Chain A
Amino acid sequence: MLDVTGRGVLTLAALLAIPVGTAAQTWRTVTMSRQVSGEDELRVSVSYGAGHFKVGAADEGVLYRMRLRYDEEVFEPRAEYDGNRLRLGVENVGHSIRIGKNRSGGEMDLMLSREVPMDLGLEFGAVRADLDLGGLSLTGLSLSTGASESVVDVSSPNPVSMNTATFEVGAAEFTARRLGNLNARRIEVDAGVGDITLSFTGAWEQDASVAIDMGLGALELRFPEGLGVRLNKDSFLTSLDSEGMVKRGASYYSLDWEAADRKISIDLNAAFGSVRVVWVR
């Protein structure tokens, strides 16, 4: 998990990367891969500073496959594997921060094994991220992002159950789709500033609790019809458009809360923003 300082550093590094000079980059493309070799479970840590970041599922037999395009004068790839832990990403070369280097052309395309259960940690700074976690066997998920434009999609159900999925979002436009497919007992979202869209569609295998801590910005909660939703709101100067929900006591309930097969309970803590509830078929 990347703490606030870490995310700040990643974001700062990304801001410094904004093109102001004409210095030439030396782009290098690296493709790394490793085969599955009997791993029972794997802890995977991925860090990426700036560029375009994509994650998906790999073909059978492949533990990971990573394609990196980066400026070799500034970054160097990182791939460490020790049997039960895998660290991937890029890191700065040396200890100096270079200003004026255009890293907008950087890319990281990562594919992870479907077969090996993994506790996945993703940390990225100012990136444009397209993450499809569908098909991965996730026993844990921790996503931390700085100033980014991120889309997380769980396109197919997670075959194993997960205790907690954590999303830490800095200043960003963040969208999470089909969170029901995560098969998580608890989902935690800590958002700083930005536009956040959380779609709780997908195949819910179990009831779940969700904690959302929202700073300044707009939050849109999208629920599938038929899912029982209870929303506990603790907010300050935050508007709530609770369409399709009724208020009982201090909480808001979906209309079919009692009859729903699967229920999620959301604790929402928000300040200076707006919350909108949308029901999707």
Chain B
Amino acid sequence: MLMPLYRRTLLGLILAVALLPALARAQERAVVSKEVAVGRSEASLRLEFSAGAPLEIVFRDRAVTIDGDVVGSFDPGDAADAAWRSLLSEAVTLEDGPLSEMLVAWSPPEGLEGDALDVVEVIDEALEQSLRPSLPVVAPSVSVSVGTGRESALLQALLGQVGRLSMLQDALAEAGGAVQLHVQEDVEVDEGQTVNGTLVVISGDARIRGTVEGDVVVVDGSLQLLPGSRVFGEVRLADAHIVRNEGTVEGTVVDVLEDERDLESEIRARLRDELRSELRDEIRHTAPTSAARRFNPFRSVFRAVAGIVENLVKILILGLIGMGVVAFAPDHLDVVAETARRAPGRSAAVGVAGAFLLIPVWILGAVALAVSIVGIPVMIAWLPLFPLAAIAAGLLGYLAVARNVGEWLSDSGYRYTDWIRRSNSVYTIFGGLMGLMSFFIVGHALSVVPLVGFVKGFLVFAGSLASLAALTVGFGAVLLTRGGRRREYFPESFDEAWERAVEVEMDMDEADIEVEEEPGGSENDRPGKEKENDA
């Protein structure tokens, strides 16, 4: 890892302090459970230890989180994402000890820079902090002297924290030379006294009147540089402060945590800006502001025209299909249309019931076919063909109702429906489709006019209702007539039934009379014959 010296030192020290309470169980802190998840938008690692909190590092939705805290951002496929996924691909194959060793040994790949490097370094630190305890200890190679106010606490720390001491050792090694480490005790360097090397004070206060030849590091405490004091190295403070600074520091005074805090707030600010920018883009693309609409009159016209053209294309497509039906299955269309006209209530009820039963029938049919070896090939055909048949039935029914609507419009005598020729099914289908779609077309046309949005909404609702009703009635009529193959006339009104009955009798009489009186009778006296002649 390429971290500044003070960071490495600080990392070791903070770990040493932060983990003191849990030291007794440090050796048991092995990886007992691992979860690696990789998806298109996510790559995550979750480690569970025998003791202590689990570690969870997640790359998801462009954010990088460690234990739920956002630590950075990434773009799918960028260098940080690729490095992380590469690490996970290795982690998948390993368990426990080898897994820990691999994760600790991992370091940001070469070539990373900028934000990607920052993110990966944070991850690297998190992994090391969590996994270091389980690594073996290497004998120290630097001169370290330790003083403590509570020897029992330090002893307990040393006995329980064998693994983590290696990190502290590494950190102190970076300090170079001799190190005086004081834990939980105040330190005083008297006038004329010289500390050879680095002075480290953890959870204590340092009062310096003399000389420190190396650095002074204070964690969780305070530092007083009294008159005449001199520090030849740097002063580094972590969660600590200088009470008085009347001495001489040859190096710099660094508040390390402030640096970390700055980094964190910088990352958060950047994330916030990116999020804000993305949201702004999203809103710009999906929901144009009212101001934009106000100042862009062509937008509404363009949308209205597009909506009208879209509906006209639908009418054209459905009409062409209707022409096909008229050409190839006119009788079926007649039967369905007749049933829908004569029994719309019953057709609608059957249509609703049929719509609800479609999916159960489809599934049950498939199950029934699947249980037999012979049925499995049939099931393969059943699965796609049944939905297609249902769609075809709905289409046929809709066109039949559209034809009825067209006939009604033709009979209505409206000014703009004169062109619909009742005797030609193609005309009546196109006319009916225009009628059913007219709600949408008018709605789109009205959308050009400002402040009539509610009217458009009402028209769209009415059009949807009309289309749904046509579809339901038509589908029911198709079911009742078995696809137009069985005539399904329903009880007519008394007058209609009487007329039909009389008409049949007259035809019969006419036939009889025709046979009997053909040689010399007057054919023009018979109304039936008149009709025939007219034809």
Contacts A147-B370, A171-B371, A193-B371; A29 near B39 (Cβ below 8 A): yes
B370–A26 contact, CB under 8 A? no
Count of CB-CB pairs between chains A and B under 8 Å: 72
A26–B41 contact, CB under 8 A? yes
The answer to the question of A61 belonging to the interface, with a C-beta cut-off of 8 Å to chain B, is yes
B370–A29 contact, CB under 8 A? no
Chain A at the B interface: SS class: strand
Q: How far is the CA of A132 from the CA of B48 in the complex (A)?
A: 29
Q: How far is the CA of A216 from the CA of B33 in the complex (A)?
A: 45
* Residues of chain B in range 24-55 having any CB-CB distance to chain A below 8 Å: 30-42, 48, 50
Which of B39, B96, B384 is A26 in contact with, Cβ under 8 Å?
B39
Q: Mark A7-32, 1 if CB is under 8 A from B, else 0.
A: 00001100110101000001111111
User: Which A-chain residue is minimally distant from B48 (CB atoms)?
Assistant: A34
The answer to the question of B313 belonging to the interface, with a C-beta cut-off of 8 Å to chain A, is no
Interface residues on A, range: 20 to 34
Q: Which residues of A contact B41 (CB under 8 A)?
A: 26
B39–A28 contact, CB under 8 A? yes
A31–B34 contact, CB under 8 A? yes
Per the CB 8 Å criterion, the residue count for chain B at the interface is 29
The answer to the question of B92 belonging to the interface, with a C-beta cut-off of 8 Å to chain A, is yes
Q: How far is the CA of A81 from the CA of B33 in the complex (A)?
A: 10
User: Which B-chain residue is minimally distant from A35 (CB atoms)?
Assistant: B32
B36–A35 contact, CB under 8 A? no
B366–A28 contact, CB under 8 A? no
B37–A30 contact, CB under 8 A? yes
The answer to the question of B282 belonging to the interface, with a C-beta cut-off of 8 Å to chain A, is no
B34–A28 contact, CB under 8 A? no
Q: How far is the CA of A20 from the CA of B372 in the complex (A)?
A: 22
- Shortest Cβ distance from residue A232 to the other chain B in the assembled complex, whole angstroms: 27
Q: Which residues of B contact A18 (CB under 8 A)?
A: 366, 383
B35–A35 contact, CB under 8 A? no
Contacts A16-B363, A18-B383, A20-B387; A30 near B36 (Cβ below 8 A): yes
A27–B33 contact, CB under 8 A? no
Q: Which residues of A contact B35 (CB under 8 A)?
A: 30-33, 79
A27–B39 contact, CB under 8 A? yes
Contacts A12-B363, A147-B370; A34 near B39 (Cβ below 8 A): no
Q: Which residues of A contact B363 (CB under 8 A)?
A: 12, 15-16
Q: Which residues of B contact A193 (CB under 8 A)?
A: 371-372
The answer to the question of B367 belonging to the interface, with a C-beta cut-off of 8 Å to chain A, is yes
- Shortest Cβ distance from residue B377 to the other chain A in the assembled complex, whole angstroms: 15
Q: Mark A21-60, 1 if CB is under 8 A from B, else 0.
A: 0000011111111110100000000000000000000010
User: Which A-chain residue is minimally distant from B50 (CB atoms)?
Assistant: A37
Q: Which residues of B contact A12 (CB under 8 A)?
A: 363, 367
Q: How far is the CA of A27 from the CA of B42 in the complex (A)?
A: 10
Which of B32, B34, B95, B384 is A37 in contact with, Cβ under 8 Å?
B32
User: Which A-chain residue is minimally distant from B99 (CB atoms)?
Assistant: A33
The answer to the question of A277 belonging to the interface, with a C-beta cut-off of 8 Å to chain B, is no
B367–A72 contact, CB under 8 A? no
- Shortest Cβ distance from residue B57 to the other chain A in the assembled complex, whole angstroms: 15
The answer to the question of A62 belonging to the interface, with a C-beta cut-off of 8 Å to chain B, is yes
- Shortest Cβ distance from residue A255 to the other chain B in the assembled complex, whole angstroms: 33
Q: Mark A158-192, 1 if CB is under 8 A from B, else 0.
A: 00000000000001000000000000000000000
B36–A31 contact, CB under 8 A? yes
Q: Which residues of A contact B31 (CB under 8 A)?
A: 35
* Residues of chain B in range 2-44 having any CB-CB distance to chain A below 8 Å: 30-42
Q: Which residues of B contact A20 (CB under 8 A)?
A: 383-384, 387
B96–A35 contact, CB under 8 A? yes
- Shortest Cβ distance from residue B487 to the other chain A in the assembled complex, whole angstroms: 34
- Shortest Cβ distance from residue B268 to the other chain A in the assembled complex, whole angstroms: 28
Which of A31, A59, A99, A147 is B92 in contact with, Cβ under 8 Å?
A31
User: Which A-chain residue is minimally distant from B383 (CB atoms)?
Assistant: A18
B39–A72 contact, CB under 8 A? yes
* Residues of chain B in range 49-68 having any CB-CB distance to chain A below 8 Å: 50
- Shortest Cβ distance from residue B187 to the other chain A in the assembled complex, whole angstroms: 44
Q: How far is the CA of A85 from the CA of B33 in the complex (A)?
A: 15
Q: Which residues of A contact B30 (CB under 8 A)?
A: 35
User: Which B-chain residue is minimally distant from A72 (CB atoms)?
Assistant: B39
Q: How far is the CA of A34 from the CA of B92 in the complex (A)?
A: 12
Q: Which residues of B contact A65 (CB under 8 A)?
A: 95
A28–B42 contact, CB under 8 A? yes
Q: How far is the CA of A20 from the CA of B386 in the complex (A)?
A: 11
User: Which A-chain residue is minimally distant from B41 (CB atoms)?
Assistant: A26
Q: How far is the CA of A16 from the CA of B35 in the complex (A)?
A: 29
- Shortest Cβ distance from residue B61 to the other chain A in the assembled complex, whole angstroms: 13
Q: How far is the CA of A186 from the CA of B11 in the complex (A)?
A: 61
A26–B50 contact, CB under 8 A? no
A171–B33 contact, CB under 8 A? no
Q: Which residues of A contact B50 (CB under 8 A)?
A: 37
B37–A15 contact, CB under 8 A? no
Q: Which residues of B contact A62 (CB under 8 A)?
A: 95
B32–A29 contact, CB under 8 A? no
Q: How far is the CA of A20 from the CA of B383 in the complex (A)?
A: 8
B367–A29 contact, CB under 8 A? no
Contacts A28-B39, A28-B42; A15 near B371 (Cβ below 8 A): no
User: Which A-chain residue is minimally distant from B35 (CB atoms)?
Assistant: A32
Q: How far is the CA of A37 from the CA of B33 in the complex (A)?
A: 10
Q: Which residues of A contact B38 (CB under 8 A)?
A: 28-30
Contacts A29-B39, A31-B35, A33-B34; A15 near B387 (Cβ below 8 A): no
B34–A171 contact, CB under 8 A? no
A26–B40 contact, CB under 8 A? yes
Q: Which residues of A contact B39 (CB under 8 A)?
A: 26-29, 72
- Shortest Cβ distance from residue A96 to the other chain B in the assembled complex, whole angstroms: 14
A61–B367 contact, CB under 8 A? no
- Shortest Cβ distance from residue A129 to the other chain B in the assembled complex, whole angstroms: 17
A171–B384 contact, CB under 8 A? no
A35–B33 contact, CB under 8 A? yes
User: Which B-chain residue is minimally distant from A24 (CB atoms)?
Assistant: B40
A-B pairs with beta carbons under 8 Å apart, 19 shown: A11-B367, A12-B363, A15-B367, A18-B366, A20-B384, A26-B40, A26-B41, A27-B40, A28-B37, A28-B38, A30-B38, A32-B33, A33-B95, A34-B33, A34-B34, A35-B30, A65-B95, A79-B35, A147-B370
Q: Which residues of A contact B (CB under 8 A)?
A: 11-12, 15-16, 18, 20, 26-35, 37, 59, 61-62, 65, 67, 72, 79, 81, 99, 147, 171, 193, 195, 216
List 8 tightest A-B contacts by C-beta distance, closest first: A28-B39, A30-B37, A34-B33, A31-B36, A32-B35, A171-B371, A193-B371, A35-B32
User: What would 19 more interface pairs be, CB under 8 Å, given A20-B387, A28-B42, A35-B30?
Assistant: A15-B363, A15-B367, A16-B363, A18-B366, A18-B383, A28-B38, A29-B37, A29-B39, A30-B36, A31-B92, A33-B35, A33-B95, A35-B32, A37-B32, A61-B95, A61-B96, A72-B39, A99-B359, A147-B370
